[in-house]
A and B are shown apart, each in its own frame.
Chain A
Amino acid sequence: QLQLRESGPGLVKPSETLSLTCTVSGGSITSNNYYWGWIRQPPGKGLEWIGNIYSRGTPYYNPSLKRRVTISIDTSKRQFSLKLRSLIAADTGIFYCARLVSESGGYYFDSWGQGTLVTVSS
C-alpha cells in the first residue's frame, strides 16, 4: 500500500526558507499516471494547493506562491521536495504531500501523507 511521509523542521524563522521532503514507499514514483503534490492548511482553515511535479516534467505552482516556491523530485531516492522562501507568520500550518492521479482527463489526490506542522516564528 502506498505511503507518503513528510519530513522537515517544525519551526522556522521569518524570512528563512522552509525545506520539506516527502518520501514515497509501497508504490512507484515514476508511473505515467501519477504526479506528486504539496498542499497546506493554516491552523483552523481550509486547504490550499501549493504545487505539483511529474517525475519527468515541469512543476506547476499556485500563482499566489509561485515567486517563493520550488518543487523538485529525486526518483532515485523516491522523494520529492518543497522549498518555500521568505517565510512569514502566515505560512504557519500543516503541510501535506499527496499523490495526484491523472485519469481520463481528471485529476485527484488519492493518497496523502499524515502532514507535518510548520510554525514560522522567531
Chain B
Amino acid sequence: DIQLTQSPSSLSASVGDRVTITCQASQLITNFLNWYQQKPGEAPKLLIYDASHLETGVPSRFSGSGSGTHFSFTIRSLQPEDVATYYCQHYDTPLFTFGPGTTVHIK
C-alpha cells in the first residue's frame, strides 16, 4: 500500500508569509494527488486536485505542484482565515489514502 508523509506536522507563520507543505509518497503516484483544507469544526474542503489544478472558487493564493513521489502545497500569502489542517490525498485503484495532516497556525 502507498503511504503518504506530510511535513511539517504543524507550523506557525505570520500573516502575509509564504507557506509550503510537502507530501511524500512511498511509491510513484503520477499526479493523482489532491489537497484538502479542514478548518476547526468543519468538514474538509477540496482545494487542489490532480496535484496542481485549483478547484473552482478557491483563492489563487493556494497552489500545488509536484509529480512522482514528491508534492508541494503553497499558500502564497497567508491569511488569518487560512488557519486549518491541510491534508494530501491519493487514489491508487481502488483505494484512497490521506496524509496525516499539517496544521497551520498564525504567529
| A and B pair up | yes
CB distance from A112 to the nearest CB of B (A): 4
Contact of B34 among A63, A108, A115 (CB under 8 A): A108
Listed in ascending order, the chain A residues whose CB lies under 8 Å from chain B are 37, 39, 46-49, 52, 60, 62-63, 96, 104-110, 112-115
Q: Is the interface of A mostly helix, strand, loop or mixed?
A: strand
Residues on the A chain within 8 Å of B89, using CB: 47, 108-109
In the complex, which residue of chain A has the Cβ closest to the Cβ of B53? A106
Residues on the B chain within 8 Å of A107, using CB: 32, 91, 96
Residues on the A chain within 8 Å of B55, using CB: 110
Residues on the B chain within 8 Å of A39, using CB: 44, 98
Listed in ascending order, the chain B residues whose CB lies under 8 Å from chain A are 1, 31-32, 34, 36, 38, 42-46, 49-50, 55, 87, 89, 91, 94-101
Residues on the A chain within 8 Å of B38, using CB: 47
Contact of B49 among A52, A63, A108, A112 (CB under 8 A): A108
Residues on the B chain within 8 Å of A46, using CB: 87, 98-101
Complex Cα distance A65/B46, Å?
24
Docked-complex contact A105 and B32, CB < 8 angstroms: yes
Q: A46-B100, A46-B101 are in contact. Are A108 and B46 (CB under 8 A)?
A: yes
Contact of B50 among A52, A60, A63, A106 (CB under 8 A): A106
In the complex, which residue of chain B has the Cβ closest to the Cβ of A62? B95
Q: A46-B87, A46-B100, A46-B101 are in contact. Are A109 and B94 (CB under 8 A)?
A: no
